Amino acid sequence: MEDTNLFTIIGLAAGTLTTIAFLPQVIKTWQSKSAKDISLGMFSTFCTGVFLWIVYGFNIGDLPILLANIITFILAFTILIFKFRYG
């Protein structure tokens, strides 16, 4: 296996793990309809940073960075929306 393929697989695995880490929070916030303990500042900053990773990944054409951060942005932004709705 080429190093490039190995690093792409490692990148996709890392992106998958760090992305699915947000899923329990999305589910819990949605089910409880409560976001009072979620930091607005942290999730606002985080969403901005993830958006910049998407821009970066697009510009360098890096699939693992793009996929992981697009999905992470969707999940984190969902939590941010829940913060405004239920917070």
At 73, list the tokens. 């942005």
Helices assigned H by DSSP within 1-87: 3-20, 23-32, 40-60, 63-86
Model pLDDT, residue 8:
84
- pTM here? 0.82
Residues 41-85 pLDDT 10s: 999 999 999 999 999 999 999 888 998 999 999 999 999 999 999
Give the domain ranges of the chain: 3-86
Q: Return the DSSP state at 75.
A: H
Looking at CATH, the fold of the domain delimited by 3-86 is given as Monooxygenase (1.20.1280)
What's the CA gap between 55 and 63, in Å, rounded? 12
